[in-house]
Chain A
Amino acid sequence: MFHYAIRRLLWLVPTILAMALVTFTIMHATPGSPLDPIAEGANPLSPEAQKNLAVLYGLDKPLYHQFGIFLWKAVRGDFGNSFVYKTRAVRDIIVTTFPISLFLGSMAFSLAVVGGLTLGILAATHQNKGWDYLSVSLATVGVAIPNFVLAVFLIILFSFVIPLFPTGGWNDWRNWVLPTVTLAAGPMGIVARFTRASMLEVIRADYTRTARAKGLGERPIIFRHALKNAFIPIVTLLGPMFAAVGTGSFFVEAIFRVPGMGKFFVESMTGRDYPMIMAVVLTYGVFLSLMNLVVDLAYGLLDPRIRY
């Protein structure tokens, strides 16, 4: 177990290097340059100005050199200054905005897991009855409908028709409700579907029948015997779920005006803000890889049959 964790941690290094290299290649292999004017159809900067800017940002050096410099600085947590927000260091932007995204993501994640498990269990224990249909339809809707579309419906319903929650902003808990629900819907649907399938399998297992035969009530059977085993395959879902919540948050943050990292993600890419792009992609990449690692380790702890 310990050795496995160490080996996985070490594997992170080449993975992240490859990620940085792919991103760097895409940035530089595609037409266009950060020295181009931002406004469409504007006159380009004079050649001297372009040259000076290129020198200032190190864009005049050969690409492998640029990549080397990037790595050398990134290792020490220095991502340089943003090309778009010229006076702000990329690091500062990330440090102030990532926690907000993380907070929103964690709330959505918890809601998705708790809500999904509840829906799934209800569906499995009431198979082919009202609860089952309700939770299966909710799960399907959650999975199928894109979160920015869901956001529109939720705003109309809970901000305009029934004015319960504000349409955006990030001041108190009332601001948090709609973005969290929007972001959680998709992952919650996935968890619910898996929980239902997994529970149905476990409920038919021999040990559940044994538990019932020895006279246990329905409640301890479900919670102590069935759920524990049904939960194991669901853990594998959590890794991809982090990714879904992470990428989903660009849209949700934009619609509900949440001051998280999502805004910079899209902005940096359309504005060819090279340092910002690298930082944002790698922040997400490292975070997701770490979460996947945690999930895999948790899987091993929960299921004693698994040996590393």
Chain B
Amino acid sequence: MATVSPTTAPPLSVTVARAREKGTSLTRDALRRLRRNRLAMAGLVVIIFLALVAIFADVLAPYSYTKTNFSRLNEPPSREHPLGTDQIGRDLLSRMIYGARVSMLVGLGAQLIVVSIGVPVGALSGFIGGRTDLLLTRFIDVMYAFPRLLFVILVMSMLGAGLMNIFIAIGLTGWVGIARQTRAQVLSIKEKEFVDGARALGSGFTRLLLRHVLPNALTPIVVAVTFGIPEAIFTEAALSFIGVGINPPTPSWGQMVGEGQQYLRSYWHLCVFPSIAIAGTMLSFTFFGDGVRDALDPKQN
């Protein structure tokens, strides 16, 4: 696949200069392309909506997510409970709203960890080269041989359920992909003339890496992060589905699907609403991610 980023094209300085003359930077150009992509914008709207729901969950939720009502178990949607009630009489809508908070937190938090491990490791490995690179690459290869989800489940069942542990588990396993990508990117950029030029002008190691190489390696990292967020959300849902993710009574969509799925025939609503939420979130992030990739990488049609 030709995932050549625009930054690796040789006459970069020329393009930039020309773009500056016309008053558009590469970033602005990409934003314009992104804004024109209708699917991506629809995805973004849903994402913003979910983020707002997550932030204002306390205000929006009509009931507490832990409040049980044993006289109203498994009720289908009604006026009082728009999405019905669950196995122990909790309001499903309220639980869904708090579930959005968990999903968003995991999506962003886990990516933060993934990036802060993966980018430095990949960048250093590629930039220093030699024996350090060989060692790190071998390690990355071994980690890569593990099926990721299997590894996350292993770590989670050992650490125990909980939000913090989900961050750790996804962070520990997720950085490998980004490290690989950053390394490949840094390897190709450090051979470029402008890096030689900067070195000739007396830039030191840190300055070369942070000011000259990394900024130009950013495009694939940004794309990887946009796709990493839904992946983290999926991982949390999957973990909670099998019961090693979020600790009850904190609600999570995956956990709701997992529990509701046993009663699918009699109480469809328990499972269907969180399923729709997961599917919608994943689709929105995928559309948005596709849009970001296409916008940053105009050569790929």
Contacts and interface: CB of A to CB of B under 8 A. Distances in A.
A122 B1 CA distance: 20
A19 B150 CA distance: 12
A233 interface: yes
A16 B282 CA distance: 34
A96 interface: no
A168 to B, nearest CB: 10
A233 B237 CA distance: 32
A272 B159 CA distance: 11
Interface size class of A (residues with CB under 8 A): 35 or more
B168 to A, nearest CB: 11
A243 B243 CA distance: 22
Most buried by B among A140, A148, A160, A167: A148
The interface residues of chain B, by DSSP majority, are classed as helix
A222 B145 CA distance: 35
B286 interface: yes
Given A26-B155, A156-B268, A285-B145, A146 B242 contact: no
Interface stretch (A69-77, A97-105, A209-217, A249-257): A249-257
Given A251-B242, A285-B146, A288-B145, A146 B237 contact: yes
Interface stretch (A53-61, A79-87, A262-270): A262-270
Most buried by B among A149, A160, A254, A289: A149
Interface size class of B (residues with CB under 8 A): 35 or more
Given A22-B142, A145-B279, A146-B237, A152 B154 contact: no
A153 interface: yes
Contacts of B279: 144-146, 149, 153
**6 interchain residue pairs of minimum CB distance:** A269-B157, A30-B158, A144-B286, A247-B149, A144-B282, A243-B147
25 contacts: A15-B145, A19-B145, A22-B142, A26-B155, A26-B158, A141-B283, A143-B286, A145-B283, A148-B238, A148-B254, A148-B257, A149-B257, A149-B279, A152-B261, A156-B272, A160-B265, A243-B148, A246-B147, A247-B150, A255-B261, A265-B153, A266-B153, A269-B153, A269-B244, A288-B147
Given A152-B275, A246-B147, A284-B150, 9 more contacts: A19-B142, A26-B158, A149-B275, A149-B279, A155-B264, A160-B268, A251-B241, A266-B244, A270-B157
Interface of B: 1, 141-142, 145-150, 153-155, 157-160, 230, 234, 237-238, 241-244, 254, 257-258, 261, 264-265, 268, 271-272, 275, 278-279, 282-283, 285-287, 290
